[in-house]
Amino acid sequence: MTSLRGHVLDYEFVGSSYKTWRIETTLDLFDIPITRPVKSDCTAIVNNLHNLSRQADVLFIWTDCDREGEAIGGDVVKLCQEVNPHIEVWRAHFSDMQPTAIHRAAQNHGTMDTLQIHAVHTRSELDFRIGAAFTRLQTLKLQRFFSDKGPVISFGSCQFPTLGFVVDRYLQIEKFVPEEFWKIALSYSQNNPSTKTPLITQFTWRRDHLFEKWACFILYEKCVQAKLAKVTKVKSKQASKWKPLPLTTVELQKVGCRMLRMSGTAVMAAAEELYRAGLISYPRTETDQYSDTFDFMPLIERQTFDSSWGQYAALLRDGEFERPRNGKNNDKAHPPIHPVAYNGSLTGNAARVYEFIARRFLGSCWKNAIGMETNVEVEMGGELFDAKGLVILERNYLEVYTYDKWSGNEIPDFQTGQEFIPHSLEMKSGMTTAPNLLTEADLIGLMESNEIGTDATIAEHIQKILDRNYTFKNGQYFTPSTLGISLVMGYDEIGFETSLSKPFLRREVDILLMMVFKEFTYRIPFLHFFLFF
């Protein structure tokens, strides 16, 4: 038995002449042959694989059961067959590391999926050729505008759409023109014996606001002339705040950025540290549902030892447990992120990320929070106003998952047909405001919804545009640099049908890659179609 460390083979152009960056050879990079040498820091790993293969009859691949894991396994097969062409290859198919799943995978081994392997190789070759060509083109053309030699101005098919999101939001704010609006604000006051202070209920105008001042004034005058407001509808119903779904990598990064005030890179670094220490499951997964055979109780039991959340784990163990909700995603490679062991001596970022993962897991195993919601509709002068009250009856998962908030809002016991004189009735003005610059959580959400990067690479793409000085962070917000804005606007103004700074081209590539996954014979025509069409 031995282990790996991700991909062991790299990509490289054939011929020494292409190691020198020259404008006249840039176009050739789309067509010249490439080779896959061993990565410089993986020589010992490959030597180990060669030595073990010489003595073995069977090669049993246990890499991740996603496309990337299949491609890594395919590289291992290639390397092992270099020294032992007749070695038999088995493939384990599993989605979690619990004993039952491991034994089932060992007893029911399959074969390597060639289509998945070639789909990954196709995407990697595209990224390598496009990235190399455009990076050289940009750098050679733009370096003269910098002092000294100037930086490497890199290009990546995921990196640039990521930068595009940041620049688009910045330009949207720059072009924003505030506009004045008007609205009607109505409130009701009732004495509250329990607090000895008035209970003020704020009503929201059904129209929200108008941009025509005199139109709003006319409607406001009608309300003033009516003098009395009348309750036209009162509706009470039970409300639920849904417990969180099982944890995925993207959700870990988004909530980590927002609630823990950490960067996505820092969150993933801490998660990787916890994984290597055997404290959490594999932290790179798209799966938000547990298998039917997943055993929760041993994992919950281990959390009972914690002084902060152990009491809630004990409640789940003793009868409050409810199976987690099922999300819509299952990558068939890994379960959702969850704690697998407990260590009360963690410190720093590792402690904060572990606490979040543990509380998220326990929260997903509890019941939804329950409340009673009351909606009140009021009519005055022909205009409708709404107010909403909420009484929380059972906090349930909110007890342990402190990252979700659900606040009650007390309102009086309104009755249909009740009339009252408003505590206040005002016509107010305001100004529309520009959106905020993107936070890292915002950016991760945009990348996820537009399918830019994977759960494993989103944080890397964001870090790359920071490292290249295409953007920088001012507090929690991303602000593009002059170079970043110039690159995006330059590509946008070339006039391509689809700009390289937008996510649409990358999405088209992923759709076409599914053709490769379904039928390998598409691979070579697809490469030529994409690179030369």
Q: With contact defined as beta carbons under 8 Å apart, do 366 and 322 qualify? A: yes
Helix (H, G, I), strand (E, B) or coil at 193: coil
Distance of CA 263 to CAs 107, 341, 473, Å?
A: 42, 25, 10
What's the distance, CA 430 to chain centroid? 34
* Cα–Cα nearest to 432, from 178, 109, 80, 93: 178
Please tell me which residue in 282, 342, 397, 401 is annotated as part of the active site: 282
Per-residue pLDDT tens for 15-46?
877 778 888 888 888 888 999 999 989 999 99
How does residue 532 score in pLDDT terms, banded at 50, 70 and 90?
very low
One-letter amino acid at 159 equals Q
Element (H, E) at 203: strand 197-205
Q: What is the pLDDT of residue 511?
A: 72
Q: Each residue of 367-391: pLDDT tens digit?
A: 999 999 999 999 999 999 999 999 9
Extract the tokens encoding 421.
């004189």
CA-based torsion, 272, 274, 278, 282: positive or negative: negative
pTM attached to this predicted model: 0.85
**What does the pLDDT read at residue 370?**
97
Other C-beta atoms closer than 10 Å to the C-beta of 13 total 18
Q: Can you give the pLDDT at residue 524?
A: 54
For residue 533, is pLDDT > 60? no
Query: Which residues fall within 8 angstroms of residue 80, CB to CB, at 6 or more apart?
Result: 49, 50, 52, 53, 56, 59, 87
Q: Mind listing the pLDDT tens digit for each residue in 140-158?
A: 888 888 766 678 899 988 9
Could you give the CA distance from residue 224 to residue 184 in angstroms, rounded to a whole number?
11
Q: Mark whether 282 is an active-site residue.
A: yes
Strands of 419-420's sheet in order across: 419-420, 229-241, 369-380, 383-394, 197-205, 180-192, 424-431
pLDDT digits (tens, 9 = 90+) for 180-207: 999 999 999 998 777 678 899 999 999 9
Q: Is the pLDDT of residue 517 over 70?
A: no
> What share of the chain in percent tops pLDDT 90?
66
Number of H helices, E strands in the chain: 16, 13
